[in-house]
Amino acid sequence: MDWAFMQRVIPMYAAAVILTLQLVIVGIVLATITGLAISVIRYKKIFLLSPLSAAYVQLFRNTPLLVQLFFLYFGLPKLGIHISSEACAIIGLTLLGGSYMAEAFRAGLNSISPSQIESAQALGFSPIQTLRYIVIPQALAVSIPPLCANVIFLIKETSVFSVVALADLIYVAKDLIGLYYKTDEALLLLVAAYLIILLPISLAAAVLERRIRYAGFGNSRTL
Amino acid sequence: MEQEILLKIEHLQKTYDNHTVLKDISMEIKKGEVIVIVGPSGCGKSTFLRCINGLEKINHGAVYFKNNCISDESLPHSLICQQIGMVFQSYELFNHLTVMDNITLAALQVQRRKKSEVQQTARKLLTRIGLADKENFYPRQLSGGQKQRIAMIRALILNPEIMLFDEVTASLDPEMVREVLDVIIGLVRQGMTMLIVTHEMSFARAIADRIFFFDNGEIVEENTPEQFFTQPSTTRAKQFLNSFEFNSVK
Amino acid sequence: MQDLGIRVLFDGENGVRLLLGLVVTLKLSIITIIASCLLGTLMGLLMTLRNPIIHIVTRVYLEFIRIMPQLVLLFVTYFGLTRAVGINLSGFTAAVIVFILWGTAEMGDLVRSAFISIPKDQYESGTALGFSKLQLYRFIILPQALRQIIPPAMNLATRMIMTTSLVVLIGVVEMLKTGQQIIEANRYTAPSAALWIYGTIFFLYFFSCWPLTILAQHLEKKWEK
């Protein structure tokens, strides 16, 4: 191992980590908003929008992000639509993530029995109040584990961003292997960088999930 | 003195697809009356209660509350529900809220009452049903009987004029039935107007002013409890009551 | 200009070549899915044993494989293993290794959680009825476990098919690579080919995965009751 070399290239990896995190945060926020909107549309069975949303979810859950990005980045310009690398990455992540987030929220919404909603109605709650005070808080508890899984999944998916000419971790690693033949060093740093991003998030997700499962609604004084 | 008529149901009819659940139900309930509805499973008695407070749309007929029609959707559903309380067989407490929040949420959000007053009332009601120490518990930590009693005061705190009870003891263990029925008996003493669907025959006999026997979506017999349980006037009621009797098999 | 692009698909053997690329994609998927099912079941059963060493080893393996992006695993295997062991792995072989390692881990976890989720009284009442251990598994435990495993295992299979798209980045000639080659070859005669080729690949992936997803949803709903 060439430790001096590794030290020299660490800033390149750091820059790639920061780029990845910036894109991923924007992407996940937009994906969550998209997913929530889609799941409410489907839950409320809104005319026309509901089947369209279902089609969107199926389309993006059943195609790889890599192919979506190729289409956005290389295909669309032929129609005169030019999208920057960063925008491509964010759009791709939002569309893919939206379809996954929608399913996570849907699982939560579907876990609320119709009789819970009826009993809220019988107490005089309006539909909006029922959603706000009864449905959403309970649905969220069910949705959080799949939402966490989606966040981790989406971060992992960002590893293909190099194909839209973004200097992400894979791009840096590939570059170093190609230019200097420092394969071991480049790969070690690659693995380490992803561990630094993903380990804390996946540990936090595990803790959150455990708290919801064991401490939710009454088995503990906290929450 | 003739008591005011609180609830009037005229020729109520309810169909699901092609299946008629309620055929032609008419009924008048005076203020302070306790009406008990009995009948075999699937006779439409639960649907009847749900039609009254607007959880189900009716196909024909009308429901009047204090001479105002409440079945034509001219009044907001939320307003009707504050007047007509309902308790379900499966309690349906909100699992994410403490006992106190379960009881007070509708009073605070729907009726916009003051928090201090609502909480005080809630504590008073909790004390009355003997669960004063449970206000910070979550539904998961309670027994079925406790949950059902809390579901009752959750409806009562809105100060309804009439209460509908839909088989409130049907999913309880036998030893918990009594504690729930005792709450209803307390309400009888206070003069609450009630419409009760139940399978507890001796309870029905003890508290009812009038008994309605439903079968196949229609009122087969209306009677005083004494008459109904000792000499019912219809064969169908007789057969129904017989199904609760056991003769020695040895 | 637009119709020039779509013509590329039907020009000469382009369409056939793209489909041959799909065959490579599906071949890789099928080999690794079958191997993962077999090895994953074995690993899942191992994980249900209450052996602390097996528990720790399988857990570390599972968590590491899960936390790493599949592309990183492909890079490490393709570039790293080649150097470390001194053998020259083809991209396809590296991909087979990575997908089997990943599929086995995910499948193992599915199998494990299915078996531990079967309530204890199912075992007890089966034993109380006089079933032998073998009969107990054959008639009572296995049918219930399979119902829990099959729908998510099918979802895993679709994820594996989609993830095979990554192998283009370690130089395997499959559908995407073939597409790129066609686009390159027709760069001047059909500049808009990229739109049509990538659009076609998008839908070829969709129609490879979607039936599986639908079937999994159907089975899940059917067995829920």
Distance from CA of B2 to the nearest CA of A (A): 30
pLDDT in tens, A136-184: 888 888 899 999 999 999 999 999 999 998 989 999 999 998 888 888 8
> In Å, how far is B189's CA from the nearest CA of chain A?
24
C2 pLDDT more than 80: no
Q: What is the CATH number of the domain that holds C136?
A: 1.10.3720.10
Q: Over pLDDT 70: what percentage of chain B?
A: 99
Select the residue of B77, B86, B96 nearest A141 (Cβ to Cβ): B96
Residue A77 touches chain B, beta carbons under 8 Å: no
Rounded CA-CA distance B232/B224 in Å is: 10
What is the mean pLDDT of the segment spanning C29-37?
96
Q: Is the pLDDT of residue C184 over 60?
A: yes
- CB atoms near residue C220 (< 10 Å): 16
Q: Where are the alpha helices (DSSP H) in B132-173?
A: 144-156
Stated pTM of the model: 0.82
> Where do the H-state alpha helices sit in A44-135?
49-61, 65-70, 85-110, 114-122, 127-129
Distance CA C196, CA C179 (A): 10
Give chain C's domain count.
1
Full domain range(s) for residue C153: 2-224
Domains and CATH numbers, chain B: 5-94+162-242 (3.40.50.300)
- Write out pLDDT tens, residues A14-65: 999 999 999 999 999 999 999 999 998 998 888 899 999 999 999 999 999 9
Query: Using CA atoms, how far apart are residues B9 and B11, in angstroms rounded to an integer?
Result: 7
Kindly list the distances between the CA atom of residue A31 and the CA atoms of A60, A147, B131, C213, in Å, as whole numbers in the listed order: 12, 11, 45, 21
Residue A220 pLDDT > 60, yes or no?
Answer: no
Q: Which two tokens stand for residue B83?
A: 């007047």
Of the candidates C147, C117, C137, the one whose C-alpha atom is nearest the C-alpha of residue C221 is C147
CA nearest A89: which of A26, A180, A177?
A26
Q: What is the DSSP string of B179-229?
A: HHHHHHHHHHHHT-EEEEE-S-HHHHHHH-SEEEEEETTEEEEEE-HHHHH
Averaged pLDDT for residues A108-135: 91
Q: How far apart are CA A192 and CA B177, in angstroms?
A: 62
Q: State whether A217 and B139 contact (CB < 8 Å).
A: yes
Which of the four pLDDT bands, split at 50, 70 and 90, describes residue B11?
very high
For B27, the 3-state DSSP assignment is strand
Closest CA to A212 of A143, A163, A153, A154: A143
Give the span between the Cα atoms of C217 and C95, in whole angstroms. Answer: 28
Which class is domain A3-214?
Answer: mainly alpha
Q: pLDDT tens digits, residue range B159-187?
A: 999 999 999 999 898 889 999 999 999 99
Q: Give residues with Cβ within 8 angstroms of B245, minimum separation 6.
A: none
Angstrom CA distances, B39 to B15, B58, B174, B235, stand at 19, 21, 20, 13
Average pLDDT of span B226-244: 91
Average pLDDT value over all residues in chain A? 90
Instruction: Decide if A222 touches B, using CB distance below 8 A.
Output: no
Could you tell me if the ipTM is greater than 0.85?
Answer: yes
Q: Is the pLDDT of residue C3 over 70?
A: no
**Cα–Cα distances in angstroms (integers) from residue C19 to residues B40, B246, C174, in the given order:** 65, 75, 9
For residue A43, which of A108, A89, A137 has the smallest C-alpha distance? A108
With an 8 Å Cβ cutoff, the interface of chain C facing chain A consists of 5, 63, 67-72, 75-76, 79-80, 83-84, 158, 162-163, 165-166, 168-169, 176, 183, 191-199, 201-202, 205-206, 209-210, 213
For the segment A79-89, the average pLDDT, to the nearest whole number, is 91
Whether pLDDT at A221 is above 60: no
Nearest to C201 among A67, A187, A194 (CB): A67
Q: pLDDT at position C1, please? A: 45
The Cα–Cα gap between C15 and C180 comes to: 13
Neighbours of C10 (CB within 10 A): 8
Residue C104 pLDDT exceeds 90: yes
Please, which residues have CB within 8 angstroms of residue A73's CB and are 6 or more apart in sequence?
A83, A85, A88, A163, A164
For the beta carbon of residue A11, count every other beta carbon within 10 angstroms.
9
CB proximity under 8 Å: A 140-179 to B: 141
Q: What are the structural domain ranges in chain A?
A: 3-214
In angstroms, the CA C224 to CA B241 distance is 39
Task: For residues B100 and B220, give the distance between their C-alpha atoms in angstroms, rounded to a whole number.
Answer: 42
What digits encode the pLDDT tens for the residues B94-145? 988 999 999 999 999 989 999 999 999 999 999 999 999 999 999 989 999 9
At which residue do the structure tokens 């609320």 appear?
A112
Instruction: Residue B151: list chain A partners with CB under 8 A.
Output: 119
